[in-house]
Amino acid sequence: MDTRKWGIVIIGLVFALTILGYFYTPYDPNEVSVMERFAPPGQSHLLGTDHFGRDVFSRILVGSRVSLAVGVGAVALGSLLGVTLGLWAGFRGGLVEELFMRISTALQAFPSILLALLFATIWQPGVPVILWAVAIGNIPNFLRLTRSQVLSIKKRSYVEAARALGATDARIVVRHVIPNVVDSLLVQFTVSLAGAILVEASLSYLGVGIQPPTPSWGRMLREAQGYAGLAPWVLLAPGLFIAVTVIGFNLLGDTWIFRRDGVFKRE
Amino acid sequence: MKRYLLQKTGGFVLTAILVSILTFFVIQILPGDPALLMLGTEATPEIYARVRMEMNLDKPVLQRYFGWFADFLKGQWGNSWRYSMPVRDLVARAFPLSILLAFLSVGAALLVATPAGMFMAARPKTYSARLISVLTQAGLGLPQFWVGLLLIQVFAVNMRLLPAGGNSSYASFLLPTLTLALPRAAILSRFMRVGMADALRQDYIRTARAKGVSSRAIFFKHALRNGSLAVVTVAGLQFAQLFAGTIVVEQVFGLPGVGQLLLTGVFQRDLPLVQAVVMVIVFLILLFDLAFDLCLGLLDPRIRYE
């Protein structure tokens, strides 16, 4: 099968499993069962159990919810802010543009993980910390992308014609700019999602992200750290799910690039 | 070049000031009351008032910012609340390790990525090239800390070949470097391939071919020079991500670098420590950016006149 289709298949499966997790999990994801500690993967527990005897597969099903929701929420927030500021900078030009671009350069020096650690010092570790850190970390990319598109579209003759006919800025944005940027934004959005999921996992692993008892993939790996020799599945399963999801989003990004450009440029 | 140098350095100074404003804003303004954060809720009003005075919280914001930034530039970063010793000493002790780790992993990544990317560009249709391409996809998708945990499990616990952590010997740097280098190598090799493929399509390559230059010389001399520029650009931009990675990977391998220092600061809510470490990391990232921009200007005269 074509590599392009894999992205859709993988992400489709991940979302299907996440939705499944709302209606059905083989076991209660937080049910402790000391008798069944470190049960290996098999018939009764598909992916085995962890150090509390909790079913790993059920926890992964429920954990995916957190990873996806935080990822999608944060990137949506970041893209909304970035696109708005980018439109503003591109249209206004001058001092506003200069200022926004400087701020965006400054923000690029703060990786999301560093921002999250900074926020976690002041607020309590938890979902809002990751959400804002990833959102702010994504602003520069969206801002730059939108601004550069606005600059190139602004100069096209059909936009000048529209303006000559009395079209307002708002109309030009809605009718001409947005349809032109939407494909590139989609690519950026998908690739950013992959990054956001990795950041969430890393932060939850460090202990500044999702707090117990809520299961999340990164959190599960943090808890698995001491038991990898005893029960390799507690380390392998959540990591594989993260990796497959991230790779799926990256491949999906490639698919959007193909759709946008017509030809499949492999980068 | 002189104009380019001035332009870039000026940009660096402006960005550095902005970065300091952002950090100051987050640390000093957002929480509402750093004094309360330091003391907890059980302090008496008298102590609280004294601490507020000592922290200059009763002064206007602008005055506080300038005082704070001037202190930072002078290296007066205050005392850590947790360790009760100058933050500067803690930072000076922790940074060399992290910087060493960062350089080792960029070096390792370049060592792997350059030939891999060149190979993919030279023989794009072979199975080996496709395999490398799949591997880069994996390198981008695998969570770093997870790779680190797996490497520890395999090489340290099961095979007992390498130490699982710490920084007692050179061998103990091997696994962390590998962990950090993996995603860098994946990204860099992709850019190397694109850069080389682009370079090979240029007119001067066709001219060289028409003159009868051997394909080896074309590939390694004419195409490589231009093709590798993209990699230098990206390698420079990677430092931000690299430091983020270092924070996590140090935790996996129990390395006493900035990452550990920062995390201790975060969990102990040690504001002076956190703010100094964050500022130093961010300034280092900006400095590396500047250095790479200048290198690029030296390598590629076109950039200087943009």
The sign of the CA dihedral A115, B96, B293, A96 is positive
Query: Going residue by residue through chain B (306 aa), what tens digit of pLDDT does each one get?
Result: 778 888 888 888 888 888 888 888 887 766 556 666 666 666 677 777 777 766 666 677 788 888 888 888 887 777 777 777 888 888 888 888 888 888 888 888 888 888 888 888 888 788 888 888 888 888 888 888 888 888 888 887 777 777 776 666 777 788 888 888 888 888 888 888 888 888 888 888 888 888 888 888 888 888 888 888 878 777 777 778 888 888 888 888 888 888 889 988 888 888 888 888 898 898 888 888 888 888 888 877 777 766
Task: State ipTM.
Answer: 0.84
| Contact assignment for A106 to B22 by CB distance below 8 Å | yes
User: Residue ranges per domain, chain A?
Assistant: 3-22+47-266
Cα–chain-centroid distance for residue A14?
13
The alpha carbon of residue A246 is apart from the nearest alpha carbon of chain B, in Å, by: 5
pLDDT at position A266? 44
The alpha carbon of residue A250 is apart from the nearest alpha carbon of chain B, in Å, by: 8
pLDDT at position A134? 92
Whether B20 contacts chain A with CB within 8 A:
no
Closest partner residue to B153 (CB to CB) among A103, A117, A235 is: A235
Residues 139-178, chain A, touching B (beta carbon < 8 A): none
Residues of B in contact with A218 (CB under 8 A): 143
Whether B182 contacts chain A with CB within 8 A:
no
Other C-beta atoms within 10 Å of B82: how many?
Answer: 15
Express each pLDDT in B214-272 by its tens digit. 888 888 888 888 888 878 777 777 778 888 888 888 888 888 888 889 988 888 888 88
pLDDT band at A53 (very low <50, low <70, confident <90, very high): low
Distance CA A60, CA A62 (A): 5
| Contact assignment for A112 to B244 by CB distance below 8 Å | yes
B48: which residues sit within 8 A by CB, 6+ positions away?
B35, B36, B39
**Three-state DSSP class for A156?**
coil
pLDDT at position B132? 84
Q: Residue range A199-227: average pLDDT?
A: 82
Distance CA A86, CA A144 (A): 6
The alpha carbon of residue B212 is apart from the nearest alpha carbon of chain A, in Å, by: 30
How many alpha carbons lie under 13 Å from residue A15 in its C-beta half-sphere? 10
How many alpha carbons lie under 13 Å from residue B70 in its C-beta half-sphere? 6
Bond into A238 cis (ω within 30): no
Express each pLDDT in A72-130 by its tens digit. 999 999 999 999 999 888 888 788 888 888 888 888 888 888 989 888 888 878 888 88
A159 contacts A229 by C-beta, under 8 angstroms: no
B7: which residues sit within 8 A by CB, 6+ positions away?
none
B299 contacts B110 by C-beta, under 8 angstroms: no
Whether A113 contacts chain B with CB within 8 A:
yes
| Contact assignment for B244 to A114 by CB distance below 8 Å | yes
Whether A81 contacts chain B with CB within 8 A:
no
Distance CA B28, CA B57 (A): 9
Q: Give the CATH fold of the A3-22+47-266 domain.
A: MetI-like fold (1.10.3720)
Task: Please identify which residue in the block is written with the tokens 């710490």.
Answer: B166
- Could you say which DSSP state residue A229 is in? T
Residues of A in contact with B156 (CB under 8 A): none
| Contact assignment for B18 to A221 by CB distance below 8 Å | no
A67: which residues sit within 8 A by CB, 6+ positions away?
A197, A200, A201, A216, A217, A218, A242, A245
Torsion of CA B121, B124, B130, B136, to 10 degrees: 20
Average pLDDT, chain A: 82
Whether A208 contacts chain B with CB within 8 A:
yes
Helices (H), A93-177: 94-108, 112-122, 127-154, 157-164, 169-172
Residues of A in contact with B278 (CB under 8 A): 114, 117-118
pLDDT at position A267? 41
Express each pLDDT in A30-46 by its tens digit. 767 666 676 677 777 66
